[in-house]
Amino acid sequence: MTDSSENIRVDVIAALKKILPRPVAISGATHIVQDLGLDSLAIMNFMLEIEDRFDISIPLDRAADIATVDDLVLAIEALVKQEKA
Amino acid sequence: MSILAKFSQLQQTYDQLGALQPNPFAVTFEQILSSTEGVIDGRRTILLGTNNYLGLTMDADCIAQSVQALQQQGTGTTGSRVANGSYASHRALEQDLAKFFQRQHCMVFSTGYQANLGMLSTLVGRGDHLILDADSHASIYDGARLGHAEVIRFRHSDPDDLYKRLRRLKDTPGSKLIVVEGIYSMLGDLAPLREIAQVKREMGAYLMVDEAHSMGVLGEHGRGLAEAAGVEADVDFIVGTFSKSLGSVGGFCVADIEGFNVLRVACRPYMFTASLPPSIIASTRQALRHLEADATLRARLTNNANHLYEGLRELGLQVGPHASPIVSVALEDQALAVRFWNALLHNGLYLNLALPPATPSNKPLLRASVSAAHSRRQIDRAIQLFGEVAVQLGVLGTGSGAPIAMVA
Ligand SMILES: Cc1ncc(COP(=O)(O)O)c(C=O)c1O
C-alpha cells in the first residue's frame, strides 16, 4: 500500500464509522456488507458519499467486485489516478 | 446443500409475510368485475393497485378490436419479427406510436421490461457510458447489466449531481446516455426534466426518458413528462409500456435519430423473442386512439389522483412529495405495513405493498395507483378505510402528514 492509499483508507473508514449506529473496529480486511450489516440503501448512499469525497464515479461493474475496505481503497486509488491522468 | 440454499433468508422473509394470509406477493383475483373491482377470497374488492391509469382494460371498443383480431389472425404469432416475419398490425402500431409522439421511428417490444433491456443493452456498448438515476426501475438496471457500457449512477432526481458526473466524464471518449423516468413508480414523484435536459444540452449527452407511468397521464396530449415539461426536442429516446395506461402488454421506443432501424437487427431482446399476438396489438391501437381522442380520461384521472392524495395527506399520513396517479403512504416498519395492508384487504381495498430494498427510502410503502375509472365513491371509501385502519393500528395521532423524505 502506498502513502496515498493509506490516506484513502483513513477517509473510507471514517466515512463508514459515521453511518454505523454503534462504534465498530474497522480495518482494511473488513467486509463492507457482511461484517458491518449495512443494508443496500445504506451501501448505495455510502458509495455516493465516497464518490463525492474523491470526485470520482465508481462504475457499477467495479462496485460489484468490491468486498472489503481495501478493495474499495484500491478502486478509489485507481480511479483518482485515472482522473488526474 | 440445495441449489436454492442461497435463498434461505429470502424464503424466511417471504414466509413471515404470509403468516397473516394472504401473502401480499401472492394475491389472486378470483374474478375481475370491472377495471376497478374484483373478487379476492370471495370478497368484492376495490382495485387501487393495478396501474390501470385510464381504466381501458375493460373498454368495449378495445375488447371488440381484440376479439376481431383474435378471430381473424389467431392466438399468436409463434415467432420473432426478425426470423419469422411481422404482421401488418405490428407495423401499423409502430406508425401510430411514432405519429402520436411526433417522431420518425418506433420499435415495439413484447414487454416494457424488454424495451428497456433491449434499448439500454444495445444503444450503448463497450467504451460508452450509461448514467442512471439511482432510483431507476429494475428493467433499467437489468438493461444496463446486459450491455457492455460503463454504468454510473447519479443521486435521484438531482441535476447538479448529474452535472458533476458528466463533468468527470468530459474528456472520456464514448457516447453518454442519461436515463430517467417520467414518474417514478414508488413515490409517484416526477423527474426535474427541464433541469436535466439543460445539463444534457450543456454537457453533450443523449437523453432517454422512460414514460411507463406518465404516458397518457402527463402532458396536454398525454405524451408524458417530456411534453409536460416542454423539452421533447431534448429527449432523444422515449421508452414506454402498453401495460399501464394502454391496458394491455408490450413496450416501445420512439426516436428521431437517423439510422434507428438498424437496431432491429442488433437488439437481442427484440430479435430473440416472439412478437406480440395480434389481439394485443389491436386492443393497444384502440386504447391509443382513446387516449388521443378523449382528454376527459386524463382530467378524471388527475381529479381522482388529487382527491386521494389530499385525502390521505389531510388524515395525517405520510404521502409522497406531490400528487400523481401513484399515491404512496410510508409506514415505520415492515410488520406494521403488513398488518395495515392486510386490514385494508380484509375490508375490501386492494393496493400494493412495497418493501425495502425496493422502496427509495428505508420505509415500507402502501402504494396506490389511481384510475380514471374509479368513482368518487370508491376513492372516498379508500380514504375512509385508510383513516379507520390507521387509527386502529395507532399510526395516526402522532403523524405530522409530512411528505416522505426522498433519498439524499
Ligand atoms: C418505470 C418502469 N419501466 C418499465 C416497466 C416495465 O414494464 P412492463 O411491466 O410493461 O414490462 C415498469 C413497470 O413495471 C416501470 O415501472
Contact B314, B401 (CB under 8 A): yes
CB–CB of B152 and A57 under 8 A? yes
Is the bond into B22 cis (omega within 30 degrees of 0)? yes
Q: What gap in Å lies between CA A77 and CA A74, rounded to an integer? A: 5
B99 in active site:
no
Q: What gap in Å lies between CA B31 and CA B350, rounded to an integer? A: 13
Write out the H or E segment, with its range, that includes residue B157: none
The model's confidence at residue B131, banded by pLDDT at 50, 70 and 90, is: very high
Q: What is the pLDDT of residue A23?
A: 86
**Is residue B127 one of the residues assigned to a domain?**
yes
Three-class SS of B324-376: CCEEEEECCCHHHHHHHHHHHHHCCEECEEECCCCCCCCCCEEEEECCCCCCH
Contact A12, A76 (CB under 8 A): yes
Q: Cα(B214) to centroid of ligand 1, in Å? A: 11
Domains of chain A and any CATH numbers: 3-84 (1.10.1200.10)
Pocket probe for ligand 1: among B111, B113, B187, B215, the residue whose CB has the most ligand atoms within 8 Å is B113
Q: What is the mean pLDDT of residues B208-237?
A: 98
Kindly tell me the number of DSSP H helices and DSSP E strands found in chain A: 4, 0
**Is residue B299 one of the residues assigned to a domain?**
yes
CA distances from A53 to A12, A39, A49, A79, B172 (A): 9, 21, 6, 13, 21
Looking at mean pLDDT, say which of A55-59, B285-289, B330-334 comes out highest: B285-289
Residues B183, B43 within the same domain: no
Write out the H or E segment, with its range, that includes residue A60: helix A60-64
Q: Cα(B212) to centroid of ligand 1, in Å? A: 6
Residues B284, B336 within the same domain: no
Mutate to test the interface with A, among B9, B141, B152, B170 (most CBs of A within 10 A): B152
Q: What gap in Å lies between CA B108 and CA B355, rounded to an integer? A: 32
CB–CB of A60 and B144 under 8 A? yes
**Is residue B405 one of the residues assigned to a domain?**
no
The set of protein residues with a Cβ atom below 6 angstroms from ligand 1 is B 111-113, 116, 137, 139, 181, 185, 210, 212-213, 241, 243, 251
Domain containing B305: what range?
Answer: 7-47+295-392
Residues B93, B229 within the same domain: yes
Q: What is the pLDDT of residue B24?
A: 86
Q: What is the pLDDT of residue B1?
A: 86
B213 in active site:
yes
Contact A46, A15 (CB under 8 A): yes
**Is residue B1 one of the residues assigned to a domain?**
no
Residues B276, B316 within the same domain: no
SS3 B287: helix
Q: What is the mean pLDDT of residues B193-218?
A: 98
Residues 6+ apart with CB under 8 A from A15: A46, A49, A50, A53
What are the tens digits of pLDDT across the range B315-326? 999 999 989 999
Residues B115, B40 within the same domain: no
Residue that is last in its domain, among B248, B277, B293: B293
**Is residue B29 one of the residues assigned to a domain?**
yes
Q: Is the pLDDT of residue B20 over 80?
A: no
**Is residue B54 one of the residues assigned to a domain?**
no
- The residue whose CA is least distant from atom 3 of ligand 1 is B212
Residues B146, B270 within the same domain: yes
SS3 B206: strand
Q: What is the pLDDT of residue B114?
A: 98
Residues B229, B107 within the same domain: yes
Residue that is last in its domain, among B293, B311, B331: B293
What are the tens digits of pLDDT across the range B60-97? 999 999 999 999 999 999 999 999 999 999 999 999 99
Q: What is the pLDDT of residue B399?
A: 46
The model's confidence at residue B14, banded by pLDDT at 50, 70 and 90, is: confident
Q: What is the pLDDT of residue A1?
A: 55
Determine which of B15-29, B99-113, B228-242 has the lowest per-residue pLDDT on average.
Answer: B15-29
Q: What is the mean pLDDT of chain A?
A: 89
What is the interface pTM, i.e. ipTM, of the complex? Answer: 0.88
Residues 6+ apart with CB under 8 A from B377: none
Q: What is the mean pLDDT of residues B241-245?
A: 98
Residue B362, chain A, CB below 8 Å: the answer is yes
Residue A2 or residue B313, greater confidence: B313
CB–CB of B152 and A56 under 8 A? no
Q: What is the mean pLDDT of residues B273-282?
A: 98
Mutate to test the interface with B, among A45, A48, A52, A62 (most CBs of B within 10 A): A48
Q: What is the pLDDT of residue B408?
A: 35
For residue B266, give the amino acid letter: A
B361 in active site:
no
**Is residue B77 one of the residues assigned to a domain?**
yes
Q: What is the pLDDT of residue A38?
A: 85
What are the tens digits of pLDDT across the range B362-376? 899 999 999 999 999
Q: Closest-CA residue in chain A for B166?
A: A57
Residue B339, chain A, CB below 8 Å: the answer is no
Residues B83, B147 within the same domain: yes
* B64–chain A nearest CA distance, Å: 46
CB–CB of A57 and B168 under 8 A? yes
Q: Cα(B156) to centroid of ligand 1, in Å? A: 18
The model's confidence at residue B407, banded by pLDDT at 50, 70 and 90, is: very low
Residue A44, chain B, CB below 8 Å: the answer is yes
Residues B279, B301 within the same domain: no
Residue B154 is part of a domain; what is its CATH number?
A: 3.40.640.10
Residue B336 is part of a domain; what is its CATH number?
A: 3.90.1150.10
**Is residue B401 one of the residues assigned to a domain?**
no
Q: What is the pLDDT of residue B143?
A: 98
Domain count, chain B: 2
Q: Is the pLDDT of residue B26 over 90?
A: no
Residues B244, B333 within the same domain: no
Q: In chain A, pLDDT over 70 holds for what percent of residues?
A: 95
**b/e map of B62-95 (b: 16 or more CB within 10 Å)?**
bbebbeebbeebeeebeebbeeeebbebbeebbe
Residues B251, B278 within the same domain: yes
Q: What is the pLDDT of residue B44?
A: 97
- The residue whose CA is least distant from atom 15 of ligand 1 is B212
What are the tens digits of pLDDT across the range B138-182? 999 999 999 999 999 999 999 999 999 999 999 899 999 999 999
Residues B17, B124 within the same domain: no
Residue B6, chain A, CB below 8 Å: the answer is no
CB–CB of B153 and A60 under 8 A? yes
Query: What torsion do the CA atoms of B191, B196, B200, B202 make, to the nearest 10 degrees?
Result: 180
